[in-house]
Chains A and B, each alone.
Chain A
Amino acid sequence: MLNLDETIENIKLCKHIPESDVEELCTKVIELLIEEANIQHVDTPVTICGDIHGQLHDLITLFKTGGECPGTQYLFLGDFVDRGFYSLESFLLLMALKVRFPDRITLIRGNHESRQITTVYGFYDECVRKYGSVNVWRYCCEVFDYLSLGAIVGGKGGVFCIHGGLSPDIETVDQIRILDRKQEVPHEGGMCDLLWSDPEDVPGWAISPRGAGFLFGENEVNTFLHQNNISLIARAHQLVMEGYKEMFNQGLVTVWSAPNYCYRCGNIASVLTIDDNLNRDYKVFEAATQDVSNIPSKKPAIDYFI
């Protein structure tokens, strides 16, 4: 039987978690997620976090910065895995906290919570390296399919939270509520766009250089805010060197929570707290350690063109 508190401590220490414990954790998380709506309602105050990307030590710093869970309520905007060297531990920690304190942490899906993307960007390889089989990756991918697509913080006039952004196929939050989300992230369509799109200074909609989702401009944001009676779109998905970036007359914010992304980018990270009056408070933090001693001994070199 899983001892959650002990498991949480072991994950934080990067200890090996038995495969059977991972399976049990994933099963329990799915039981919780299956009850959640496509767009979860989240009460204030809550601290919103952007991409984590397997940077476990920075995730631990994040909790020190924003306050430990359950004392602080958290909403994570996806991209827990890939790129960093501790994708599995990062995702296990978030799942363990979810099972331990289900009402104090909300996890929504990012574009990296996908079978296809994780085989390219590291999570698959990490699981196979750490367990010698694909089982753990499969369990986690099943969890991915149950993650909510977004959240509304603070009800009417509140904050719409999503990993990527808007979709030309979706005008109202209600249209998201009726999507069938329990599937691999599709290559196109509303669900794909919500996880892949980016805001940009463009008129209307434009092709995204990512090859999925769209670029959307200020008008699209204003229309969506007005139509859905919300005051802010909080999203992640894009590296911001300063940790966060407000756009479009403060109608949209990008929150980025992976400091020194990929141990290469030199950026700082942030979390955004929304209080009961829907005021915004950003807290920034830096990478857990500036040297690479935290990277496992069989560290892959940080790639450059040399």
Chain B
Amino acid sequence: MLSPSEKQDKLIRATDLDALSCRYSSNSLSYFVPPDPFINELVSSYQTYLQYSTGYSSLSAGRVLRSVLNKKLPLINKGTYLRTIAIDLVVEDFIQEFKNCQIISLGGGSDTRCFRVLNKHKSGVVYHEIDFPESVKIKKLAISKSKQLQRIVNCSDNDIVDVASKEQFEKVSPGMHSDRYHLSAYDLRTLSMESDEGRALLATVDANLPTLVLSECVLCYMAPDENELVLKFWKSVIKNLLAFIIYEPMSLNDAFGDTMTRNLQERGINLLTFNHFPNLASRQEFLSGKCGLSNVKLSDMSDIAGYNSMSEAPMKPWIPAEELKRISRLEMIDEVEEIRLLLEHYCLCYGEFCGSLQSVTFKGIDNYRWLIPDVKCSDNGNKST
């Protein structure tokens, strides 16, 4: 039997499958151009191995997979496309600007961005992914089954023959490392440099590289003080520019937010930052005031999707009008008010620590339109206008 906290963790891990199923649905409807060729390999890894992971049986895994890999509503497909593209843009601009850099994806689970990024950038970029051991194993098994993925991440792990039982799954070591890819199992809530695991993790990280940390619906499952600890942990590690991009829901203290809290509680999911930082202003205060990040910028996905574009925006839109037109034609979107409402409740936040090296700020982040743009890092003499 699982303890209540193990149960909670299982539910949090299962949110990865939910996100994967959304990407799978969007991808199969041609939202992504070019299509994402890696999603199917992750889906099939779940289909093969979920039954062996902690807390699942073959029946319950089959049930979960069937209930999740269903047809998604157009607004979910569109929202999934938007969140993926917005973060892709930031990652790509970061790589273009710094060339030699590292991306650290927190709780990325079965996300395929690592494969897309490493496939495109054959050198310069090191990609780290950190997640629960169970999720890491499912990803590792997906890679070990695919010559293509092995080539992209430049690792081959020959110690996995095949996994066909819970015992064999249990024995899979949760990690995979190469010169350009690090997949590590770690509970982000207990990150510390004092533990063996913490030291092992840090041995893989290059403290001197400009670093972009991604949190896509991950920090929202941690308490506010744990959020602060995570940010400060990385601050203590990275000596160069350390940038964060955070995507997650916020309640806006309204009826939609209340309903969302209730609906997710029905599924056993508690969002710990959702009501605590209910809007962009409170998140700005937390990130810059409490955590000390500079160059903090915030927006919501509704604005990023162009739903507030009635007024002439001075900045470049996140997604060109032509592209927005293309995706709005993929499915009949009859949920304009609803999708706007849903997307308003998701924020995209950026912030950075300028480390002790003579690090510079990430200029590319200013290319986009933010609802709350901030002033630049004041201690590096690199102010922009």
- By a beta-carbon cutoff of 8 Å, the part of chain A in contact with chain B is 111-112, 116-117, 120-121, 125, 198, 209-212, 238-241, 260-267, 290-292, 300-306
Kindly state whether residue B18 has any CB partner on chain A within 8 Å: yes
Contact yes or no, B264 A304, CB < 8 A: yes
Q: Are B70 and A211 in contact (CB under 8 A)?
A: no
Contact of B22 among A262, A291, A305 (CB under 8 A): A305
* Cβ B338 vs Cβ A239 within 8 A: yes
Q: Which residue of B lies closest to A208 (CB)?
A: B336
Contact of B346 among A210, A267, A290, A305 (CB under 8 A): A305
Contact among A116, A212, A266, A305 for B259, CB-based, below 8 A: A266
Main secondary structure of the interface of A (DSSP, over half): loop
B229 within 8 A of A: no
Q: Quick check: A210 and B73 within 8 Å, CB to CB?
A: no
Residue of B with least CB distance to A207? B325
Q: What B residues does A260 contact at CB under 8 A?
A: 259
Asked if B336 contacts A264 (CB within 8 A), the reply is no
Interface-lining segment among B118-126, B165-173, B181-189, B249-257: B249-257
Stretch of B140-148, B327-335, B368-376 that contacts chain A: B327-335
List A contacts of B329 (CB < 8 A): 211
Q: Quick check: is B190 within 8 A (CB to CB) of the other chain?
A: no
B262 near A290 with CB under 8 A, answer yes
- Min CB distance B311 to A, Å, is 11
A306 touches B256 (CB 8 A): no
- Give the B interface residue count (CB, 8 A): 42
CB pair A265 B341 closer than 8 Å: yes
Tell me, in angstroms, the Cα distance from A120 to B346 when the chains sit together: 25
Docked CA distance A212–B254 (Å): 30
Q: Is B266 an interface residue (CB 8 A)?
A: yes
Q: How far is B217's CA from A239's CA once the two chains are assembled, in angstroms?
A: 27
Q: Given the complex, which residues of A lie within 8 Å of B260, measured CB to CB?
A: 264, 304
B30 CB within 8 Å of chain A: no
Q: Are A265 and B259 in contact (CB under 8 A)?
A: yes
Across-interface contacts of B254 in A (CB, < 8 A): 266
Note all chain A residues with C-beta closer than 8 A to B74.
120
- The answer to whether A306 and B19 have CB atoms under 8 Å apart is yes
In angstroms, how far is the closest chain B Cβ from the Cβ of A66?
A: 22
Question: Is the CB–CB distance between A212 and B332 below 8 Å?
Answer: yes
Contacts of B267 in A (CB 8 A): 301
- Give which listed residue, B18, B307, B334, B336, contacts A112 with CB less than 8 A: B334
Given contacts A120-B332, A211-B329, A211-B333, contact A305 B256 (CB under 8 A): no
**B 59-90 binary contact with A (CB < 8 Å = 1; else 0):** 00000000100111110100110010000000
Tell me if B255 and A263 are in contact (CB < 8 A): no
Q: Once the chains bind, are A120 and B331 in contact (CB under 8 Å)?
A: yes
Chain A residues within an 8 Å CB radius of B333: 209-211
Are A305 and B338 in contact (CB-based, < 8 A)?
no
Choose among A120, A211, A267, A302 the residue that contacts B328 (Cβ–Cβ < 8 A).
Answer: A211
Let me know if A265 and B256 touch, CB within 8 A: yes
Cα–Cα, bound, A117→B335 (Å): 12
